[in-house]
Amino acid sequence: MEKLLQVNNLSVSFDTYGGEVQAVRGVNFDVHKGETLAIVGESGSGKSVTTKALMRLIPQPPGRIKEGEILFEGKDLAKLSEKQMEKIRGKDISMIFQDPMTSLNPTMKIGNQIMEGLIKHQKMSRSQAKKRAVELMELVGLPDAANRVDQYPHQFSGGQRQRVVVAIALACNPKLLIADEPTTALDVTIQAQILELMKDIQKKTDSSIIFITHDLGVVANVADRVAVMYAGKIVEIGTVDEIFYNPKHPYTWGLLGSMPSLDSADEDLYAIPGTPPDLIAPPKGDAFAARNDYAMKIDFEQQPPMFKVSDTHYAATWLLHEHAPDVEPPASIQRRMQGFAQEAELNTKGDRS
Amino acid sequence: MARYITKRLIYMLLTLIIIATFSFFLMKMLPGTPLTMEDKLSETQKEIILEKYGLNDPVPIQYLKYMGGLAVGDLGISFQFDNREVTDIIMDRIGPSMQLGAQALIIGTIIGMLLGLVAAIYHNGFLDYSSTFVAVIGKSIPSFIFAGLLQYFIALKLGWFPVALWGSWQHTVLPTVALAMFPIAIAARFMRTEMLEVLGSDFIQTARAKGVNKFGVVFKHGVRNALIPLVTVMGPLAVGLMTGTLVIEKIFAVPGIGEQFVTSITTNDFPIIMGTTLFFSFFFIFIILVIDLLYGIIDPRIRLAEGEK
């Protein structure tokens, strides 16, 4: 598959009074055409900062891209001028934000907010852009679009607003859509609707999606591949199946274990002990070592490299080193993994019949 | 909307009646009569005059008479200027005050807003500090100091504009500038704070993610959302500026209403005190109505809430 985006050794830091916060520390990943990459991790793991850096939306100062390349169709976005970036934002790469209640301008008509990108990037006239805005609103499933195009955000519900946000992001048929926790602020029914909408649109437009979330249920639903981030680094990356059925990093085990499920009512929900490290002074070795039940001496000394599990599956844990002892994931996680596998089997059987 | 405005106008009337009542009795508690300073008149002469103007009646009777006159739009006759109607005197004097106030307000708001915007855009940069400096100067140095400096340097040394008096538009320039310093400072400060907050909000990020440039972000998305607090403070300030400022009018020898008001109090010129007070109150309430209507124009969320009332 053709690569749309390739991120090489990206590091982003924020200069604060307390010191340099290394929010993203050398991240590598790529996104192929038409695929959905999910980035998961807990709050403060650098997911949002990574994707904002892709669009160069990190406020500078205090933030800065310290090093690394962001190759989008061969062009290094990290080196473009602000003017050049303005031509890419909204046209080639666009973004869906987390909170639909605050991500629309309260004093501007919905139509105008959708039209803005069309007028700027596709040089449409106002009337053309308005016609297209109505079409887009219909595409994202907003009824009575012809009238509602002249309404203000407060006249829309939360789910409807998120549909508007999706319409804005889709306006210029972007090649890459970054969705920064697009369903976190919505209730579960609306969540499912928005996810369906995004999958549907991806099928129609063949765009790539980077999907940031901390909801693994959503990941299983939408993603082709998953990158797990911890303390500003990607600790494991692989296809959805590999991450869910054969996770290798203890942090991924923890994440999967802490995912509530309907059939695990009798046991306590697992919580990863401790707190994430201070990124002003990140630990010398593996950043997860202090919270890791399986940590070895070397975890506190040296950062693990990315070990190859398969052609598509990599994990940064010393447990994969040839001299490391064989460690099995905890029993509860194993049960989970089996559960996922059974579910998947049922689903595929269901598809066949 | 029409219903809303009618309702507001009725409330305005009630407010004015209450203000008139309070001011009337407060004024009657002032010691002395309009004739206290007139040494040349004998006691009997004073008695005759007081009797003639109804000032010997019990206060409640005077009040009822006054309110009766008010109901038909009669503000009475000034004691200070023989036989001139209060309405006449106010109309005569309000012109220059209104003009100076309006000029200072418009110029002050525009310059202040621009300073505030520049400060917000170049946050923590040189331009931010410079504009904050101007705002602090404008707010902390009293206008009569500026007035004096302007008269000395611009009028006397450079001779660009007349030092004082009232006549051509050139006469209005220096008092306008002196008056505008305060609104500049207020507008700059509020605009800066609000704009910084607005620029940090999520929808600004949405706009930037669409590819909107810095200029578009500030002017198309930012300003309108930053205006509400500014309008709130500028309203009462507008009233203060346009109803005359004693100090500036004195320094530039402008025949405005500010001076008139103060003189009327020291001479116990009851009808003028009442007339001016009521005029100022009316103006103030009116401006508040205008501000409330402006809110609706600026922010559609407020508009809807009004429609539902």
Residues of B in contact with A97 (CB under 8 A): 202, 205-206, 209
Q: How is domain A1-92+174-353 classified at the architecture level of CATH?
A: 3-Layer(aba) Sandwich (3.40)
B25 shares its domain with B133: no
Closest residue in B to A98 (Cα) is B202
| Domain assignments of chain A as residue spans, ordered by start | 1-92+174-353
Q: How many domains does chain B have?
A: 2
- Sign of the C-alpha dihedral, residues B215, B221, B223, B229? negative
Q: Which residues of A touch B211 (CB under 8 A)?
A: 86-91, 117, 120-121
Q: Under an 8 A CB cutoff, do A120 and B209 touch?
A: no
pLDDT of the residue at A1: 66
pLDDT at A98: 83
Please report residues of B whose CB lies closer than 8 A to that of A107: 224-225, 298-300
In this prediction, residue A226 carries a pLDDT of 92
Are B244 and B256 in contact by the 8 Å Cβ rule? The answer is yes
Nearest CA in chain A to B298: A107
B172 near B207, Cβ under 8 Å? no
Token pair for residue A5?
């985006």
Is B174 within a domain?
Answer: yes
Assess A119–B contact: CB distance below 8 Å, yes or no. Answer: no
Spatial separation of the C-alpha atoms in residues A197 and A179, rounded to whole Å: 13
A103 touches chain B (CB under 8 A): yes
B225 and A97: CB-CB below 8 Å? no
Nearest to B209 among A82, A90, A99 (CB): A90
Whole-number pLDDT of residue A262 = 65
Tell me the CA end-to-end span of chain B in Å, nearest whole number. 9
The per-residue pLDDT of chain A, averaged, comes to 84
Domain shared by B58 and B122, yes or no: no
Whether residue B41 sits in one domain with residue B172: no
Pair B50, B166 in one domain: no
Residue B240 C-alpha, separation from nearest chain A C-alpha, in angstroms = 30
In the predicted model, residues of chain A with pLDDT beneath 50 are 352-353
Please tell me whether the interface predicted TM-score (ipTM) of this complex is above 0.95: no
Determine, yes or no, domain membership for B287: no
pLDDT at B185 over 60: yes
Q: Cβ of A154 and B205 within 8 Å?
A: no
- Whether A56 and chain B come into contact, CB under 8 Å, resolves to no
Q: Which residue of B has its CA nearest to A170?
A: B210
Residue of chain B whose alpha carbon sits nearest to that of A121 = B211
Chain B residues whose CB is inside 8 A of the A152 CB are 300-301
Q: Best of B122, B201, B206, B208 to disrupt the A interface by mutation (most A CBs within 10 Å)?
A: B206
Q: According to the model, what pLDDT value does residue A263 have?
A: 63
Residue A300 DSSP label: G
Q: Do A168 and B206 touch (CB under 8 A)?
A: yes
Same domain, yes or no: B31 and B160:
no
Interchain proximity B202–A168, CB inside 8 Å: no
Average pLDDT, chain B: 81
Looking at residue A353, its pLDDT comes to 41
For chain A, counts of helices (H) and of strands (E)? 11, 12
Check residue B307 and give its pLDDT.
46
CB A56 within 8 A of CB A85: yes
Q: Is A81 on the interface with B (CB under 8 A)?
A: no
Does residue B273 belong to any structural domain of this protein?
no
Shortest Cα–Cα distance, B119 to chain A (Å) = 16
- Chain A environment of B212 (Cβ under 8 Å): 86, 90, 116, 120
Q: How far apart are CA A290 and CA A301, in angstroms?
A: 12
Instruction: Give the pLDDT confidence score for residue A210 in this predicted structure.
Output: 92
Q: Is A87's CB within 8 Å of B211's CB? A: yes
The parent domain of residue B222 ranges over 98-255
Q: Which residue, of B211, B232, B255, is where some domain finishes?
A: B255
Q: Each residue of B46-103: pLDDT tens digit?
A: 778 777 777 777 788 888 888 888 887 777 777 766 677 778 788 778 878 888 888 8
Looking at the structure, do residues B60 and B188 belong to the same domain, yes or no?
A: no
- Region of A73 please: left (phi>0), alpha (psi -120 to 50) or beta: left
Which of B45-54, B98-107, B144-153 holds the top average pLDDT? Answer: B98-107
Give pLDDT, residue B298. Answer: 86
A55/B203 Cβ within 8 A = no
Distance between CA atoms of residues B136 and B115, nearest Å? 12
pLDDT score of A225: 92
For A75, list phi and psi in degrees, rounded to 5.
-90, 140
CB B160 within 8 A of CB B177: no
Tell me if B92 is assigned to some domain: no
CB-based contact A105 B301, cutoff 8 Å = no
CATH of the domain at B170: 1.10.3720.10
In this structure, are B50 and B184 located in the same domain?
A: no
Q: Do A117 and B210 touch (CB under 8 A)?
A: yes
Residues of B in contact with A87 (CB under 8 A): 211
Q: Under an 8 A CB cutoff, do A89 and B210 touch?
A: yes
Q: Compute the average pLDDT of residues B246-258.
A: 79
Q: What pLDDT, on the 0 to 100 scale, is given for residue A265?
A: 56
Q: Count CA atoms closer than 13 A to A41's CA, side-chain side.
A: 28
Q: Which residues 6+ apart lie within 8 Å of B235 measured at CB? A: B287, B288, B290, B291
The partner residue sitting opposite A102, judged by closest CB among B202, B213, B301, is B202
Instruction: Work out the minimum CA distance from B251 to partner chain A, whole angstroms.
Output: 44
Mutate to test the interface with B, among A95, A115, A116, A176 (most CBs of B within 10 A): A116
CB contact under 8 A, B210 and A88: no
